[in-house]
Structure 1
């Protein structure tokens, strides 16, 4: 697949996400989220420079490892590079699935070196990371376009709780994406807490209404929230495994959202 075709596919996926506000949500970044994330278009040149800088930094880092071994590198720099740039917050607040993939590959390089992996193995993570940086820049550029048109609202640092059942389901899906991102950052306890809080603060709020529509679906999601996903996190499953569990949960949540919307419409028709 050509890079242009890949970019078009990414844009289509991102554009689809806009309809459920997946490109804009309350974010809790590692550091402070400055107002630059609400003026993406004005910072696109800066983000482009930062992605080029990141590509050079990670490529140079792996080259040093390749030529001189683990003694020639400090793996903490791998995290420092990423957290240094403003682009970090731009992608975290606009398209968190790619944000999670970035962390996944940064830690792929880091743990690979620390465990004595071959330079070839480490280089594969670095090349995937570079590709993801450019994909993320494409997502931010698309978000900047929609932000400029007023389709995407401003990033807020305080959370406004959803009110209707379909809105709650959409919020649960976004929270689950954040769980994957935090797990990819190797923040296991944070990810586990987020799963628990999402269940208590969101899912329990729609549980009663959903039981009326599909009790077996509620039972399946309860198991996912309280057993399957937390156990995968605690046992140190791969990021891809955790992402797979979340994607399966989101399919069930999509069904739940459809059922709740239908039930809500039926109530309106009655009254």
Structure 2
């Protein structure tokens, strides 16, 4: 049920390059490891880990098909994923697909735990394989940018001063919120929301209010009510993704407004 490697290239080309250029903090699961600052060197290892993970999942689903729920320990799925270096490589470079991997992992795991039909679990397995290959494509692309010096060093905080840099980082952290929701870590997701609002968005509010006060009010509600409430209620990941996507559209509008204001200011002088 593996995808052809050529499919990875098509998937990678469709990804937003801006996300790969954004800075990334230390992961919530602990130190990310220096390998993420030497992506090109570790690409063969990442590819081997993807193959290994896919084989482990396929073997587990096959055992479930033959022996039922009692024949497998589905908790091992999460342990395998968290054990490989590729876990940190994708989390620090392309968070949206990282969230999809977690969703599919839990789709397989929960499917086994709830004794769902094998056909249903195989569908989740296929989604997982697609996400893993897509993730490998994203990391390969990130490795190219890293070699060109266009990728921020991972694990270090960047001093963000320009509004567009700050807004790009806010969007990136909102993607992490979706990822943590997919990991079933709502408190960590909520902490990211609060910290992002306090440490990043609040600093832009003054400038943005002058351009569109209603937009600021709407985003304040999203940060402090809509998104935290969805996380508290442990809403479906797709619902949380919709909230985040709506917020990111608003942030794009904010970026455009601030760019226009900056351009007009330069024209005056």
The reply to whether TM is greater than 0.5 is: yes
Q: CA deviation at 1:6?
A: 6.4
Q: Supply the distance in 2 between the matched residues of 1:257 and 1:104 (Cα, whole angstroms).
A: 30
Q: Supply the distance in 1 between the matched residues of 2:84 and 2:105 (Cα, whole angstroms).
A: 15
Alignment match, 2:249: 251
* Corresponding position: 1:124 with 2:123: yes
Question: Residues 54-69 of structure 1: matches in 2 within 5 Å?
Answer: 54-69=53-68
* Corresponding position: 1:232 with 2:230: yes
Q: CA deviation at 1:138?
A: 0.9
Alignment match, 2:86: 87
Q: CA deviation at 1:80?
A: 0.6
Q: Supply the distance in 1 between the matched residues of 2:221 and 2:84 (Cα, whole angstroms).
A: 39
Distance 1:11 1:96, change over 3 A: same
Q: 1:21-53, CA deviations, whole angstroms, 9 ceiling, x for partnerless residues?
A: 24x422324133111111111111111111110
CA RMSD of aligned residues (A): 1.9
Q: Supply the distance in 1 between the matched residues of 2:5 and 2:201 (Cα, whole angstroms).
A: 39
Alignment match, 1:105: 104
The count of aligned residue pairs is 267
Question: Residues 163-178 of structure 1: matches in 2 within 5 Å?
Answer: 163-178=161-176
Equivalent residue of 1:30, what SS? coil
TM-score scaled by length of structure 2? 0.92
Question: Residues 146-225 of structure 1: matches in 2 within 5 Å?
Answer: 146-155=145-154, 157-225=155-223
Q: CA deviation at 1:96?
A: 1.0
Q: CA deviation at 1:5?
A: 5.9
Alignment match, 1:15: 17
Q: CA deviation at 1:265?
A: 2.5
TM-score scaled by length of structure 1? 0.92
Q: Supply the distance in 2 between the matched residues of 1:138 and 1:191 (Cα, whole angstroms).
A: 26
* Corresponding position: 1:76 with 2:75: yes
1:172–1:198: 8 Å Cα contact kept in structure 2?
Answer: yes
Distance 1:83 1:6, change over 3 A: closer
Q: 1:66-120, CA deviations, whole angstroms, 9 ceiling, x for partnerless residues?
A: 2111111112101011011111111111111111111111111122222232222
Unaligned runs of 5+ in 1: none
